[in-house]
Chain A
Amino acid sequence: MLRHRNLVIGAVLALAFLLAAVVSLFWTPFDVAEIDIANKLKKPGDSIYLFGTDHFGRDILSMIMVGARTSIAVALVAVGIGMLFGVPLGLAAASRHGGVLDELIMRTNDLVFAFPALLIAVMITAVFGPSAINAIIAIGIFNIPVFARLTRGAALSVWQRDFILAARVAGKTATRISLEHILPNLLNLLIVQGTIQFSLGILAEAGLSYVGLGAQPPTPSWGRMLAESQTMISFAPHLALFPGFAIVLTVLGLNLFGDGLRDYFDPRIRRGSR
């Protein structure tokens, strides 16, 4: 069955990189901070370096592992920020549907959406200087409206259901209803969107550090590895290939996983008649 295959493949890929990231906390084949010019630009497989070495003689495999840590950390926190602020805003907006608060929240969302994301990221980092933290903030900010909008939309439809009336007859406040009845019914949706945003976050982080606005050296990051390898792609393609594949596979994994989850959560029964 297609949907389950997605789920499995995705999970496997995503977990693989998660694992790499975790392992890198305790062990990497080589020290990524150590520079060894004598061994620079070794091709994959020759000598002890499985994926070869970069222009400073650092072990690519180790850098990929630590890079995974960077990407995942940044993306994860960014999504966290998005959910932390976006979901409550969305719930609030929905519970006061058509009210001033609703209007205000939605307009602010539109405003943020009106800004080209990368630009804001560039400016934020131009103001506060480039760093992983600022990358997180930049990406996080753009996750807020995403979740706010999603939550509001879904919450509104839940508000229409009769069991909300029942709760209101029981004299429950909007806030309480939002937490007791609305939120639990949005969880699936949020989890799915979460994984999608997570993968987007990884792409965004790669993009930012590619233009030099992400985590700063010596901390390895996939995006910067690509940027640095760019001039050498013609004689040392492995420098560009491994980080590239790392990004593609991680994102692919997360997306597949997300889709898999979606299908898993709602097996589309309402097809055909009725």
Chain B
Amino acid sequence: MKRTFSILIAAYSIFCGVANAARTDIVVGMQLEPPNLDPTAAAAAAIDEVVYANVFEGLTRFASDGSVIPALAKSWEISEDGLAYTFTLQSGVMFHDGSVFDANDVKFSLDRARADDSTNAQKQLFAGITDVVVVDPATVTLTLEKPNGALLFNLAWGDAIVLSPDSFDKAKTAPVGTGPFIFSKWVQGDRIELSRNTAYWGEPAKLDKATFKFISEPTAAFAALMAGDVDAFPVFPAPENLAQFDADPRFTVVVGSTEGETILSTNNKQPPFDNKLVRQALAHAIDRKAIVDGAMFGFGTPIGTHFAPHHPAYVDLTANSSYDPEKSRALLKEAGFTEGFSTTLKLPPPSYARRGGEIIAAQLRAVGIDAEISNLEWAQWLEQVFRGKDFGLTIVSHTEPMDIGIYAKPDYYFQYDNTGFQALITDLEAEADPARRTEMMQQAQQMISDDYVNGYLFQLAKTGVANADIVGLWENSPTQANDLTAVHWK
């Protein structure tokens, strides 16, 4: 054994990873395999990570910095009352099967997503839309029941991409889109292959071939990168290995931001958490630094509210729930829990939850709260926690962009019911003026922070590893996507 590992050390020094230059293909590693490839039919982030902006496009899209930019819609006009959006579409766009893209496809897609029997995972995005009118092949108008400042943003989601009525039913297994890459092959359980769309309407992709390889085990992922089986792992699952990659000249480690607010969700309706004092005690019992260091090996930005730090409207409220066990115990005493109490801590699979959970359980134990850990699969988590609301505490990262609105849903799994906040969000949705919006958002952040709705831990970092010779990969992930359009080798 000992010898084995001296071999190991020796082997490190003799690493010489010079990949041959000017390659025109790439193998991108992903931890989860998409269940299918239709972003309009399932929530799995893995779907968007493969097809968003590569195979499928919508009217608008997210840029790498998170801003919303035109995609299939060249431009748009908004009526004064903010109830009508008229989109002018790109011309000369063709689906991969050669059929021509026009306004009817847009109408078809949006109507399909809004329909009663729709199986769109983000149906609420289209909630306000009353009608979709085809003005002419290159023009389409959306009418809303009330003004919605977030419409363009909503349309940028993967769930809003445009499908053709002739090929939408193939989307799950052999997607046909308008993007710069054409789906070519799916070896289930192993990989998906894309090839360049030579007839792309916009700036064509630089790579001929892109392969997404699915590696669920972090160790395997590490091994695969080290062995050169994979060129890039945009979301590398094991932060503990990043130091090694950083030290290794063959790789660059890209640490960016995500939309994932990682929080200690608290069941606000379940005693004792219906008591604000208890929630506040909870907040002060948590040492964010320990969690970020212990669970994420230092990657991740502490947050004090449910909002992305890189967002202009973000306010740093971490001080509001600073680590202070003494205060926490005092609060518990005040709330009448001198002996502390015990509760459940239900953890989904990701390592941020599993590791963070162990650390938090230990920290809570220190102030007298005994949190019994149970590790769940996603399916069980959805059943028990998300749907059944049968939990005291849980840890989960909310990766949807700009999702502070969930706090306005009293029946959302953490069951925060504050009419004041709900009103604020309603206004926010209606408000179009950027300055006012920012103000309202900050107000909202303050509100949930002061109510200690949940324990706010940290913003999930996007820890990517890639071969040093690759350029053009997204640094941040405003949405879950691996846009390969601009990617190429040095």
A–B contact (CB under 8 angstroms):
yes
A56-B359, A218-B373 known; A235-B294 Cβ under 8 A: no
Flag whether B111 is at the interface (Cβ < 8 A).
Answer: no
Residues of chain B lying within 8 A (CB to CB) of residue A34? 362
Q: Which of B375-383, B462-470, B471-479 contacts A (4 or more CB under 8 A)?
A: B375-383
- Judge if B361 is at the interface, Cβ distance under 8 Å: yes
Name the contact of A40 in the complex, choosing from B8, B294, B363 (C-beta under 8 A). Answer: B294
Q: How far is the CA of A231 from the CA of B374 in the complex (A)?
A: 22
Decide: B290 and A129 in contact? CB cutoff 8 A.
no
B374 x A232 contact (CB < 8 A):
no
With both beta carbons as reference points, the residue of chain A lying nearest to B291 in the complex is identified as: A37
Chain A contacts with B in 224-240, Cβ cutoff 8 A? 230-235, 237
A128-158: which residues lie under 8 A (CB-CB) from chain B?
129-131
Chain A nearest CB from B18 CB (Å) reads: 21
Alpha-carbon separation in the docked complex, A237 to B4 (Å)? 10
B294 touches A212 (CB 8 A): no
With an 8 A cutoff between CB atoms, is A241 at the interface?
Answer: yes
Q: With CB as the reference atom, state the residue of chain B lying closest to A241.
A: B1
**Chain B nearest Cβ from A262, distance in angstroms:** 30
B226 CB to closest chain A CB (Å) equals 8
Are A234 and B8 also in contact (CB < 8 A) when A37-B294, A217-B373 are? yes
Contacts of A231 in B (CB 8 A): 218-219, 222, 238, 240-241
The proximity string for B residues 286-309 relative to A, scoring 1 for CB distances below 8 Å and 0 otherwise, is: 000010011000000000000000
Bound Cα distance from A235 to B218, whole angstroms? 14
Write out the residue numbers on chain B whose beta carbons fall within 8 Å of the beta carbon of A218. Answer: 358, 361-362, 373
B358: A residues at CB distance < 8 A: 35, 56, 217-218
B-side contacts of A130, CB under 8 Å: 374-375
In the complex, chain A residues whose CB is within 8 Å of the CB of B357: 217
Query: Nearest CB to that of A130 among chain B residues?
Result: B375
Q: Is the CB of A233 within 8 A of B219?
A: yes
List A contacts of B373 (CB < 8 A): 216-218
Q: Restricting to A152-175, which residues have a CB under 8 Å from any CB of B?
A: none
* Identity of the chain B residue whose Cβ is nearest the Cβ of A244 in the assembled complex: B1
Distance, CA A245 to CA B4, complexed state (A): 14
Distance (whole angstroms) from the CB of A228 to the closest CB of chain B: 8
A207 to chain B minimum Cβ distance, whole angstroms, is 15
Q: In the complex, given contacts A35-B358, A55-B240, what are 14 additional A-B residue pairs having Cβ atoms less than 8 angstroms apart?
A: A37-B359, A40-B293, A56-B294, A56-B362, A217-B373, A218-B362, A230-B217, A230-B218, A231-B222, A232-B241, A234-B8, A234-B222, A235-B241, A237-B5
Query: Which 5 pairs, one residue from A and one from B, show the smallest C-beta to C-beta distance?
Result: A231-B238, A35-B362, A37-B294, A230-B219, A231-B218
